[in-house]
Amino acid sequence: MGAVVIVDALWGDSGKGKVCAHLAVRDKAPLAVRAGVGTNAGASVTLDDGTLVRARQLPTGWINPGTTVAVGSGVLVDPTVLAGEVARFDLDGRVLVDGRCALIEPGHVEAERADAHLAATVGSTCTGNGAARADFVLRRARQARDEPALAPYLTDVARHVNDVARDGLVLVEGSQGTLLSLAFSDEYPYTTSGNCTAAAAMDDVGLNWRLVQDVLMVVKALPTRVGEGPLPYELPEEEVLRRGIAEYGVVTGRPRRKAGRLDRELLGYAAMLNGPTQIALTFCDHVDPAMRGARDAGAITAPVRALIEQVEHDTGAPVVLLDTGPGLSDMIDLR
């Protein structure tokens, strides 16, 4: 079948984790693999029984019982965070970690928390990812294969990803967002410490480009941003609260700044960088509350239909998924 690369168009927090979980369940994917920088970004999914799942290290594909989850070699691993998620989600025997992943260690976290530039100017999560990546580039970081506690999980994830993708479906879950990319953002230093494009995600997990089936770009209907940096069409906090569309970061709990509309030029630029073949349009209920919890195409309202047309025009790709609420099943499949 091939691989589906899930990438965020803008500044992250778009619901990539929910999209990954939905596809894993719908398509019974045998493998989901995490791309991205590391544990500096989180994913949250509300299960149909109301359970809120929050993850920082592992992809959310494990929500399908038959899906193995993995961490690509380009992703930083925090052994404590990993162990916590394996235990919390009862994933013994279902987790793979590439032995070449660099480790985030306590000293990396301490260094970032003591760095006023990162904490105050950039608005970093200060979870040790930038410091660990710097050590990796300087070839002095420890790797996953150097940590005895990670031994049960170790394998060559790149080889496994390509082997599975030749005959089955692999979901590659990116993190953060295209416009936070270190080398592609015009907003430096208000970026993360790596790139967050589809090509970067493929590189993070060692995926052969010939095995890519689709690039699914996730577009948040009303974009958000955590930390510093510009946010076009940003709404006043009181307006966000009045409309009942406030959000908070998974990792830090900080309020997410929220825009009142998409920036069409930036969306087009993200499409140019990522080459999406499909679009997932998320948080549609924040555009029109009448969409909350809708699960059938017949429930799509006029404002959301207009937004779908606009996004398809600006990205050159069809909208195939609509996210309509917090629950895992609050999704309209248009494929």
> Is 48 marked as a binding-site residue?
no
Looking at the chain, the whole-number percentage of residues with pLDDT higher than 70 is 99
* Mean pLDDT within 229-234: 94
pLDDT at 165: 98
For the chain, what is the mean pLDDT? 95
* Mean pLDDT within 294-311: 97
* Mean pLDDT within 56-72: 97
> Is 94 marked as a binding-site residue?
no
Residue 66 has pLDDT above 90, yes or no: yes
Give domain status of residue 292, yes or no: yes
The number of distinct structural domains making up the chain is 1
pTM, rounded to two decimals: 0.94
Contact 271, 265 (CB under 8 A): no
pLDDT at 125: 87
According to DSSP, the β-strands at 224-225 and 257-258 are antiparallel
pLDDT at 226: 87
Give domain status of residue 134, yes or no: no
> Is 136 marked as a binding-site residue?
no
Give domain status of residue 48, yes or no: yes
Give domain status of residue 144, yes or no: no
pLDDT at 232: 96
Of 8, 13, 135, 288, which one is the catalytic site residue?
Answer: 13
- What's the 3-state SS for the chain? CEEEEEEECCCCCCCHHHHHHHHHHHHCCCEEEECCCCCCCCEEEECCCCCEEEECCCCHHHHCCCCEEEECCCCCECHHHHHHHHHHCCCCCCEEEECCCEECCHHHHHHHHCCHHHHHHHCCCCCCHHHHHHHHHCCCCCEHHHCHHHHHHEECHHHHHHHHHHHCEEEEECCCCHHHCCCCCCCCCCCCCCCCCHHHHHHHHCCCHHHEEEEEEEEECCCEECCCCCCCCECCHHHHHHHCCCCECCCCCCECEEECCCCHHHHHHHHHHHCCCEEEEECHHHCCHHHCCCCCHHHCCHHHHHHHHHHHHHHCCCEEEEECCCECCCEEECC
Residue 98 has pLDDT above 80, yes or no: yes
Is the pLDDT higher at 335 or at 303?
303
pLDDT at 122: 86
pLDDT at 248: 81
Query: Distance from CA of residue 286 to its chain's centroid?
Result: 20
Instruction: List the domain range (segments joined by +) for residue 294.
Output: 2-99+149-333
CA distance 15 to 220: 8
Q: CATH number of the domain that 9 lies in?
A: 3.40.440.10
Give domain status of residue 129, yes or no: no
> Is 33 marked as a binding-site residue?
no
Give domain status of residue 228, yes or no: yes
Kindly provide the residue ranges of all beta strands, DSSP E only, lying in the chain, ordered along the sequence.
2-8, 31-34, 43-46, 52-55, 68-71, 95-98, 154-155, 169-173, 212-220, 224-225, 257-258, 278-282, 319-323, 331-333
Q: What pLDDT, in 10s, does the model give residues 137-186? A: 999 999 999 999 999 999 999 999 999 999 999 999 999 999 999 999 99
> Is 314 marked as a binding-site residue?
no
> Is 174 marked as a binding-site residue?
no
Q: Is 163 a catalytic residue?
A: no
pLDDT at 88: 96
Give domain status of residue 110, yes or no: no
> Is 88 marked as a binding-site residue?
no
Q: What pLDDT, in 10s, does the model give residues 76-92? A: 999 999 999 999 999 99
pLDDT at 329: 96
> Is 323 marked as a binding-site residue?
yes
* Mean pLDDT within 235-247: 91
Question: Where does the pLDDT of residue 228 fall: very low under 50, low under 70, confident under 90, or very high at 90 and above?
Answer: confident
Give domain status of residue 266, yes or no: yes
Q: What pLDDT, in 10s, does the model give residues 122-146? A: 888 899 999 999 999 999 999 999 9
